[in-house]
Structure 1
Amino acid sequence: MLRKINFMLLVIMTITITSCSEDFLETKPTDAISSADALATPDNMALILNGLHRLLYAQSQVILPGGTSTRAGNHFWIPLGDNLTGDVIHTAPANNLGWQNQTKWISHTLETSRTTEHLWYQRYHIIASANAIINRATDGSIPEDARLKEILGQAFTYRAYAYLSLVQHYAKGYLIGNPASDPGVPLLFASEAPFTSEPRSSVQVIYDQCMADVDTAIGYFQGATARPTGSADAKSQLNIDVAYGLKARIALNSGQWRIAADAAKKSRENYPIMDETDWKSGFNTTLLPEVIWGSNVITTETTFFRAYFYLMSNTFNGSQIRNNPKAVDIRLYNQIPDTDYRKDVFLKDAPNSNGSASNGEGGWDNNTNPLYTTEDEFDSAIAAIKAEYGLASGHNTHPYMHFKMKQKVPGGIEPDDIILMRASEMYLIEAEAEAMLNNIAAAQAALQPLGSERDTAYDATSFTTQAALMDHIKFQRSLELWGEGFGYTDHIRWDEGIDHAANGGSGASEVLYVDGFKQDKPSINDDWVFKIPQAEIDANPNITSSDQNP
């Protein structure tokens, strides 16, 4: 089973390498110590956890057997969530990493694609490593002190995180299907080769396992050593706040509204909502005050042109961005009040400087914006944007382009941190769950702190019915969490399809988007579900071709 899982201890070591001009540290994984040694003490187990922290963002070929340099963990999987649904708009052809194959709805519908295969194996690697810790740490051979409880809390949280990711991608959505009978993914509890799994369990069984694991994690964290504070690296570690946040996500996506609201509230307690300065600073560091969990990408990690910001940030100096600046859906932009400072990160009137732009309006000769009456005005506006945001000479500009995600070093190629969970999401989970319970006042109360921070004229009490609240919550999630990867799971939970031509149009090109331009809602459209890797079917005796998703 899982032919590509060779249990690697993912222990981190630091070695010194001499470059042409300077000495620098490179952090690499090694499997040079035995399994028994790696699991002998809580401190050794912590090294395995450090390997998992890195596995979340490393290029897969440096950690996973059979991996590829074209996928760098959550650098790829996080923006994929908004790429598949078209919440982030591509403005021109630029198909590095097969990124626009995702946009066109090609890769995740193929059982032999890198996307379907590497997401599957990366998440099962997390599960296998978590199992190794859990199985040894609970066998009674190591005293259960606060340090061991911290290790177990992280391991159980990681396992819940990986199973949730798998069931959300490779199975039908909980709320739009029949979870008691819909096939989910295999449960794996082994910590040693050959990693024999169960057959595909139902969606319900997988969600139950996620909830059981996260509840177990919370129990361990309550008696555990605390997570360090004050550094970006510290927020790579999982703690009780992360576990509560994950519990909120599990409950939200399975319709356990009371549990979702209560867990979200607990998760966000220690993380103040970002102010305008922080919100506009670029989303490039886990040090932002409301970040609950994120990957602190080590400076020597060579993701570069495989990084989240390479795919997402218009300040990154890579061909995917220079040729194809990412833009906001025009329909979302038009809903943002002028009193909401989040509107400022989207440049409605940026000139279209790209002759290859998919809307055919690139360059001065095709300009349609009445703000620019001369070519000098057009060129000056382009130059001003490049100067303000630190763009390189080769960067194109485009109407509605964004500067929400900005690099610490604009115009460079260094990979920055990946934010995985923050307080604003938890306010929105709480609000949605209360709205689904028809607790109008409670939903309004959850929305008001976030909305009033972002919008000087905000008044949550103006949304007085469940329907009005849900429409507004969908808008707030689409805006607040734009580019942070929630589009795919939100569309499935809400059973909403994709139609870039509807309601005035998103700004996307049907020629560029192909099948991704319009998709029926998930409840009637099997293409929302990722194919199980053919390699898994070929290797796993408990899964056959009849188990393949339709």
Structure 2
Amino acid sequence: MKSNYIKQIFFAISLLVLSSCSDDFLDKKPTEYVTYEDITKTTDDLMTLLNGIHRSLYIRYESNQNENGLGGMMQQVDIAGDDVVFPATNGWFLQVYNWNGVANENAQDVRFPYRTYYRIIRNANTILGAVDTTIGPDADKKVLKGQALLYRAFCHYQLVQLFGKRYVNGVDNSQLGVPLVLVVGNEGFARSTVEQVYTQINKDLDEANTLLVGYTKPNNSHLGLSVAQGLKARVALTQGNWAIAADYAAKAKTGIALMNAEEYVKGFNDYAGKEWMWGSHINEVQTDYFGNFGAYMSRNYNSTVIRTCPKAINSKLYNLIPTTDVRSKLFDKTGVHASLNLPSSFTKYPYTSQKFLSVSTGDSRCDVPYMRVAEMYLIEAEAKARLGQADAAAVLFALVKTRDTGYTLSTKTGQALVDEIWFQRRIELWGEGFRFYDLKRTNSPLDRSGANHNSTITNNVINVPATDKRWQWLIPRAEINANPLVKQNEL
């Protein structure tokens, strides 16, 4: 009992250290209880730190309740797109929805992702800086190093997509990206070029793909080989490296089954689901109540934001989904959601989503999906279509036939097939944090016209050309003040 209590204290201290910010972040100075050396001495110690990173993906870093880890940032990048709709005025991420927050260097909306991703990077770098000399089995060191590299690559990848200009295949991507931070320390770093950032991302991913061979992860909050392959496929798709994207997506989906129609409509709230590759499980003792993903993206949690401003799908997109497609059942054109028996206090709006469901009206917990195998089918299909490979449509068919009983093998080729894949991607990955990135990587404009977006709520942000400077979010002014080496994007 005493041993378990000591372990719990140690774990709590590690989380507190991991969750601190700015110059206090993983401070190497002794605290009242432990020193930096104490928590990096053995592979068991570093495993505790790694578990702290897993946990940090769904904790509230900032004071605002909606700024809860990766789930909050997933909401941001979908809300900034065209497929998630606010049917009513709501204070949470409203400035992202109308694009004011992303163009304000003092806004919490840009500070939240910038600080959060760099916090995770710093924690990953702590493991990477200590793992080679720590005491423990080599097998454990490989697992620690592999997962830490994936976290570092993933965070740099998310950051460069938000704050840098889009990657263009075949040219010198010398445009400013984000600072590459590869060591723990308080020194400032200038912004690397977009090319340099992607070079490092791929270096980390390639090493992780080697280190994690043979590793069996205990659950889907850990990052195994399939996740490493999946992230490599994502990055390659963004860079337009089609052959690499197709190859790694095919590897990543090997041996992972797709959900059937009955499983698909159960609420997207169980990270142990057979289609999930990576996600966070929100257990009862670590819940953040009004800060959880389910407190914003579910339809059934009894909170002000869910009652008054439930998330809806772009009506123009929804009306293109065949009635034979199970994904149409994730949204209610009437807004009544009869199967949920919503209380009368819940305002009803058309086209609202019930894709994500919380545990109950009084419990906002909803596991958060970061990667599902369906995405890998879509990546492989798009990459092969771009290459003109004959089996691209067959890869798409293998996915969509499990969703739509009326779907037939597409006879389209070229851009027409790519367009069909993009449509399937929009309805398959709705609400999972991809839309803004997809618009940016494909050099597509924002187009909310002809749908259920309210121009008053969006502040008339209905159409935004692909050349608009706001596709590059502003670097937080606090970061520039602290590190003059960082140059701001165009104001």
TM-score between both structures, scaled by the size of structure 2: 0.91
Given the alignment of the two structures, is residue 397 of structure 1 paired with residue 352 of structure 2, yes or no? no
Separation (CA, whole Å) in 1 of partners of 2:433 and 2:451: 18
Query: Is this contact kept in 2: 1:75–1:306, CA < 8 A?
Result: no
Query: Is this contact kept in 2: 1:90–1:508, CA < 8 A?
Result: yes
Report SS of the residue matched to 1:236.
coil
Residue 455 of structure 1 is matched in structure 2 by 404
Segments of 4+ in structure 1 off by > 6 A?
Answer: 25-28
Runs of 5+ unmatched residues, structure 1: 1-11, 16-24, 62-66, 229-233, 351-381
Residue 156 of structure 2 is matched in structure 1 by 163
Matches within 5 A, 1:76-475: 76-95=72-91, 97=92, 99-138=93-132, 140=133, 142=135, 145-175=138-168, 180-191=173-184, 193-194=185-186, 196-222=187-213, 225-228=215-218, 234-350=219-335, 382=336, 385=337, 388-409=339-360, 411-439=361-389, 441-463=390-412, 465-475=413-423
> Per-residue deviation at 1:248?
0.6
Counterpart residue type for residue 119 of structure 2: H
Separation (CA, whole Å) in 2 of partners of 1:14 and 1:395: 40
Report SS of the residue matched to 2:431.
coil
Q: Which string of whole-angstrom CA distances, capped at 9 and with x for unpartnered residues, describes residues 58-107 of structure 1?
A: 0104xxxxx65441112210121211013111111222x3x211111111
Counterpart residue type for residue 54 of structure 2: H
Separation (CA, whole Å) in 2 of partners of 1:13 and 1:54: 16
Residue 46 of structure 1 is matched in structure 2 by 47
> Per-residue deviation at 1:270?
2.8
> Per-residue deviation at 1:548?
3.5
Separation (CA, whole Å) in 1 of partners of 2:241 and 2:269: 32
Q: 1:460 to 1:79 in 2, by over 3 A?
A: farther
Separation (CA, whole Å) in 1 of partners of 2:422 and 2:302: 32
Given the alignment of the two structures, is residue 539 of structure 1 paired with residue 482 of structure 2, yes or no? yes
Of stretches 34-43 and 239-248 in structure 1, the one that deviates more from structure 2 is 34-43
Equivalences, count: 470
Counterpart residue type for residue 39 of structure 1: T
Separation (CA, whole Å) in 2 of partners of 1:42 and 1:270: 30
Residue 30 of structure 2 is matched in structure 1 by none
What's the C-alpha RMSD, in Å, of the aligned pairs? 2.1
Q: 1:27 to 1:270 in 2, by over 3 A?
A: farther
Separation (CA, whole Å) in 1 of partners of 2:250 and 2:53: 27
> Per-residue deviation at 1:500?
2.1
> Per-residue deviation at 1:402?
1.8
Separation (CA, whole Å) in 1 of partners of 2:312 and 2:65: 27
Q: 1:390 to 1:47 in 2, by over 3 A?
A: farther
TM-score between both structures, scaled by the size of structure 1: 0.81
Q: Which string of whole-angstrom CA distances, capped at 9 and with x for unpartnered residues, describes residues 392-431 of structure 1?
A: 331111221221111232x224222101000000000001
- Identity of matched residues, %: 34
Q: Which string of whole-angstrom CA distances, capped at 9 and with x for unpartnered residues, describes residues 450-469 of structure 1?
A: 11111112123332x11111
Report SS of the residue matched to 2:481.
helix
Q: 1:177 to 1:258 in 2, by over 3 A?
A: closer
Q: Which string of whole-angstrom CA distances, capped at 9 and with x for unpartnered residues, describes residues 199-240 of structure 1?
A: 1111011011111001101111125x4212xxxxx1101111
Report SS of the residue matched to 2:75.
helix
